[in-house]
Chains A and B, each alone.
Chain A
Amino acid sequence: MRRHRRISFGRILLGLVAGLVFAFLMLPLLVVFPISLSSASYLQFPPPGLSWQWYLRYLDDPSWIEATLRSVKVAALCTVLAMGLGVPLAFFLVRSRLPGIRLLDRLTAAPIIVPTIVLSIALYGVFARLQLIGEWYGIAVAHSVLALPFVVILVGAGLRTFDEAQEQAAAGLGARWPAILWRVTLPQLRPSLVSAAFLAFISSFDELVIAMFLSGAEMTLPKKMFDNIMMEIDPTIAAVSVLQILLVGLCLGLASLFGRGVLTTTMTR
């Protein structure tokens, strides 16, 4: 029997556009990866030969390693802060019946809208007085301001689709509010929570402008990369980029693994 199939122009066009966008996003990687393995001592494409030298240079240089560890530390603290503040805020913004709450909800996007440079200068003024310049946790606090909107928007969106009757049901079945939160509400928000944490982490790990103002001599990885490009341009930067991409890719993989709802895990158990 013949199966009916309709190939529409729209589908082909969609596939084409998707392919182009994918290529646009991926092509830079096809340049960065080979360069990082280059045997040449300057940025050259295509590389004349293959070598691990730039990765070894990165691993041997304590200032790179320190910057990397510092960035991980900053991003981790930023994630904790943004989640700790953002999740309760999202609950408040979605659940509150105060007049004007919609306006307040919009306002949480402000840190994204205000130019980062403006935010940086303002933070610099405050942090200088508090003697937080050059402290890694100072950068984390500043980054959490940037990360907060992502958390509020993502968790808020998840919360809006959550059926509140379930919390009533849980309360009626004998649960106190901590049990309701941990056993009923948060597990179902897990995909939103994981995505929010991931975005918070990345938004800090990648951030340059605020770090330039606040880090002083204690550089984060993006600041170190920036300085490297300004001063001695060599393929180390490509190697670091690849490592950074791999780390982010790893986070993304973990995020999709843990964020994929509980449904699949309970089914395979």
Chain B
Amino acid sequence: MELSVQGIVRRFGNVTALGGVDLDVAEGEFLTILGPSGSGKTTLLKTVAGFEIPDEGAVFLGGEDVTLAPPRKRDVGMVFQNYALFPHMTVARNVAFPLEMRGVRREEIRRRVEEALRLVELQGFGERLPRQLSGGQQQRVALARAVVFGPGLLLLDEPFGALDRKLREGLQLEVRRLQRRLRLTTLFITHDQEEALIMSDRIAVMDRGRIEQVGPPAEVYARPATRFVADFLGESNLLDGVLADGAVRIGGFTPVPLPGLPPGPVTLLLRPEALRLAEAAEAAPCRGRGRVIETVFLGLSVKLRVQMEDGPEMLARVPLRPSLPPPAQDGEWLAVGFAPEDVHVIPRG
């Protein structure tokens, strides 16, 4: 079922939690709302679920205005941050709950609970209590409970926050597969940018009650619309400068040629992986010299902080191969360069 959120405003006292949010999620789409804590993403989710009534604006589910409808009339399945499983009910009773509330017949309930538990690979766990399960299993029960009644929309509120990294990665892909299989329209909330990049069809980046940008992960990553998005999503070097005569001057580097763009104040985004170091930098169109302050070994790559001569501090990431020596030592001077094509220009208002 498609979801459309139009001009949602929500204030708590004199704090504006949502300052006019518009968002469309297509049928079967997996859309992630990414933002720091306090950005309003949870309030937005609660508004869609029906736990919050917006001060202004409207929520449409499958073309129907549900702005004032209570949660139970919305046909929405939700997985809560801490799962909110009912601890006094067995796994099977938990999953059966939404079906019982809908007056489904007993045999039908049993069949569908079994099917839902099989879907999340928990067949045989029906008679256990939630507290007898691991965190990952509880998460899957919550998921089964949220999809068992065939909702038109699935809401996921930071469902992986409490899990350790390895488990999280496995579940992320599992949820993604499940979502694709059921063709379930999904609104996913997280503050974890990596998670957002892995799972989403599209990402909406939120900050201070507003959506800054909506787009496919690759696009939002490569061409962030605002400085905030560039900073929040992935690692970045953000360099402020003024575009004049088709080039931008930044301290520490030769001028960056950016032909065909309107002059004015801009912020240049350079991802760490776009920087070239040492010999590789010799042929780069934009160059400078810097001293390595810190090197961090990351397994597949090395991250370096480089202080440019008369310029900013830069973050670089260089892939590591066993056959190659490490690119630089701390304190070493080296050439730093990049190609203007790897620069993304964000206009500064």
A187-B78 CB under 8 A given contacts A172-B72, A174-B72, A263-B129: no
Please, which residue of chain A has its CB at the minimum distance from the CB of B78? A172
Most chain B C-beta atoms within 10 Å of own C-beta, residue among A174, A187, A263: A174
- Chain B residues within an 8 Å CB radius of A170: 86, 97
A132 to chain B, nearest CB (A): 41
Partner of A169, one of B74, B78, B149: B78
> B340 interface residue, CB < 8 Å from A?
no
- Chain B residues within an 8 Å CB radius of A176: 72
Beta-carbon contact of B84 and A166 below 8 Å: yes
- Chain B residues within an 8 Å CB radius of A174: 72, 98, 101-102, 149
> A165 interface residue, CB < 8 Å from B?
yes
Beta-carbon contact of B88 and A179 below 8 Å: no
Q: Is the interface of B mostly helix, strand, loop or mixed?
A: loop
Q: Mark B78-106, 1 if CB is under 8 A from A, else 0.
A: 10111010111110000001100110000
> B145 interface residue, CB < 8 Å from A?
yes
A side interface size, CB within 8 A: 22
Interface set, chain B 289-305, CB cutoff 8 A to A: none
Beta-carbon contact of A262 and B88 below 8 Å: yes
Beta-carbon contact of B88 and A172 below 8 Å: no
Beta-carbon contact of B78 and A166 below 8 Å: no
> B50 interface residue, CB < 8 Å from A?
yes
> A267 interface residue, CB < 8 Å from B?
yes
> B211 interface residue, CB < 8 Å from A?
no
- Chain A residues within an 8 Å CB radius of B78: 169, 172
> B308 interface residue, CB < 8 Å from A?
no
C-alpha spacing A84/B291, complex, angstroms: 75
Most chain A C-beta atoms within 10 Å of own C-beta, residue among B74, B78, B101, B145: B101
> B77 interface residue, CB < 8 Å from A?
yes
B125 to chain A, nearest CB (A): 14
Beta-carbon contact of B84 and A168 below 8 Å: yes
Interface set, chain B 254-281, CB cutoff 8 A to A: none
C-alpha spacing A170/B78, complex, angstroms: 10
> A188 interface residue, CB < 8 Å from B?
yes
A170 to chain B, nearest CB (A): 7
Partner of A173, one of B70, B82, B87, B101: B101
Beta-carbon contact of A188 and B87 below 8 Å: yes
Beta-carbon contact of B88 and A263 below 8 Å: yes
B74 to chain A, nearest CB (A): 8
Beta-carbon contact of B129 and A173 below 8 Å: no
Interface set, chain A 129-183, CB cutoff 8 A to B: 163, 165-166, 168-176, 179, 183
> B71 interface residue, CB < 8 Å from A?
yes
The interface of chain B, by Cβ under 8 A from chain A, is: 49-51, 70-72, 74, 76-78, 80-82, 84, 86-90, 97-98, 101-102, 129, 131, 145-146, 149
Known: A174-B72, A266-B129. 20 other contacts (CB 8 A): A165-B80, A165-B81, A166-B86, A168-B80, A168-B84, A169-B78, A171-B50, A171-B70, A172-B50, A172-B51, A172-B77, A173-B98, A173-B101, A174-B98, A188-B86, A262-B88, A263-B129, A266-B89, A266-B90, A267-B129
Pairs of residues from A and B, 4 with the lowest C-beta to C-beta distance, nearest first: A174-B101, A169-B84, A173-B98, A262-B88
